[in-house]
Amino acid sequence: MAALVIGAGPAGLMAAEELARAGHKVVVAEAKPSVARKFLMAGKSGLNLTKAEGFERFLAAYGDAAPVLEPMLRAFGPEQVQAWAEGLGQDLFTGSSGRVFPRAMKASPLLRAWLGRLAQMGVEIRTRWAWVSWDEDFGFDTPEGAKELRPDICVLACGGASWARLGSDGQWAGLFDAGSLAPFRPANMGFIVDWSDHMAAQFGQPLKNVVLKAGEEHVRAECVISERGLEGGGIYAVSRALREGAGLRIDLLPDLSEDDIRARLDRIGPKQSLKNRLRKGLRLDPVKLALIMEFARPLPSDIAPVLKNLPVPLVGPRPMDEAISTAGGVRFKALDGGLMLKARPGTFVAGEMLDWEAPTGGYLLTGCLATGRWAGRAAAEYLRR
């Protein structure tokens, strides 16, 4: 057989499309009973395809991996992702934050159209084919028993090590030499907070219009107070810095300076309690007031600096299997410029198997599509040569 792709998520399907477009027979092996499960799950709350912003700002979201990923993202970045989705019949819109969504919001219409096009191109998808061994052949556990394939090239796109029930369990790492891998770490995850009982009334409530600070990272966003701690996009955006040891601080009033806060509080009669002055003078909602009572008592007479920099002690990150994505995976030094394994010519790696991370907001999906396309094209060129 000519081309094998292992993993039927966005990266694997994109690699398969590029190989088929180059005229090669492609088989996609997927361990789960259906394809793109994590992609579909992400789309349940609105499929965030990419982020419409300047390229340099977009690239910066990939952190240390940005120099390596730059050519791939220049070739298939936000504009190209949008054109690709529109080519599959999806009407898109851009939100006020620059995030790009299909008007249908769901992932399923896009996936159906994509799978239909792949089928027309002759791509064969075999589900319940779990990759289990790797010698000269690729070995699989299948419903028909053990099978082996010896393709001319293979693109590996098995995902990271989070959301095992959706297929990303990181078990493939056991088939690699340890020196080629960076250890897995949770990314885009919530953090545990040891709340007191009085915070129970706030569980499930959003914390809006704040700036979350972790080391040098300052992000204006919102998050959610959960029974277990803090969750949501704002926390995910600073999760890397928090994971690496930075403390979390919150600016509860990002539109006011400390002097503005003092002036507003001074307008309220000094005979009232500080809590009432906070509520009336600053119009703080119950969630923010609860956080102040949780972490700022005893309340200082000059509370303005605290409101601009409220420390929130964290116990630690949520478990890796609850993370939206993972850092770690196949190191770029183990690959050539086409994402081919140096130790195994003809085998390429794409998507979340690679050692990169990015925040939610369209960066993750764009990175997977871009690396899948890059690996697929490099694999097609390898076959041509």
Q: Are 262 and 245 in contact (CB under 8 A)?
A: no
Sign of CA dihedral 79, 81, 87, 89: negative
Report how far residue 358's alpha carbon sits from residue 188's, in angstroms, rounded to the nearest whole number.
Answer: 8
What's the pLDDT at 1?
65
What's the pLDDT at 254?
97
Q: How many CA atoms lie within 13 A of 190 on its CB side?
A: 16
What's the pLDDT at 235?
96
> Using omega within 30 degrees of 0 as the cis cutoff, is the peptide bond preceding 359 cis?
no
**Angle subtended by helix axes 78-87 and 363-384, to nearest 10:** 80
Sign of CA dihedral 244, 248, 253, 257: negative
DSSP label at residue 330? E
Residue carrying structure tokens 């994971």: 243
What's the pLDDT at 268?
86
Three-state DSSP class for residue 145: strand
What's the pLDDT at 276?
85
Q: Are 148 and 138 in contact (CB under 8 A)?
A: yes
User: Are β-strands 316-317 and 138-142 bridged in parallel, bridged antiparallel, or unpaired?
Assistant: unpaired
Q: Tell me the two tokens of residue 58.
A: 């977009």
The domain locations on the chain are: 3-186+322-384, 191-317
Residue carrying structure tokens 């996609």: 28
Question: Phi and psi (nearest 5°) for 68?
Answer: -75, -40
Bridge partners, residue 99, by sequence: 51
Q: How many CA atoms lie within 13 A of 358 on its CB side?
A: 24
Closest alpha carbon to 339 in 7, 15, 3, 2: 15
Residue carrying structure tokens 């361990």: 31
Residue carrying structure tokens 């899948």: 372
Task: Supply the pTM of this predicted model.
Answer: 0.93
Closest alpha carbon to 26 in 10, 2, 48: 2
Superfamily for the 3-186+322-384 domain: FAD/NAD(P)-binding domain (3.50.50.60)
Q: Tell me the two tokens of residue 234.
A: 């704002």
Residues contacting residue 316 through CB under 8 Å, at least 6 positions apart: 191, 192
Bridge partners, residue 149, by sequence: 138
List, as own/partner pairs, every contact residues 264-267 make where C-beta atoms lie below 8 angstroms and the sequence separation is at least 24, other chains included.
Answer: 265/303, 265/304
Q: Tell me the two tokens of residue 34.
A: 């259906």
Report how far residue 374's alpha carbon sits from residue 207's, in angstroms, rounded to the nearest whole number.
Answer: 39
What's the pLDDT at 301?
86
pLDDT in tens, the chain (385 residues): 699 999 999 999 999 999 999 999 999 999 999 999 999 998 787 899 999 999 999 999 999 999 999 999 999 999 999 999 999 999 999 998 899 999 999 999 999 999 999 999 999 999 999 999 998 899 999 999 999 999 999 999 999 999 899 999 999 999 999 999 999 999 999 999 999 999 999 999 999 999 999 999 999 999 999 999 999 999 999 999 999 999 999 999 999 999 999 999 988 877 788 888 888 899 999 999 999 999 999 999 899 999 999 999 999 999 999 999 999 999 999 999 999 999 999 999 999 999 999 999 999 999 999 999 999 999 999 999 8
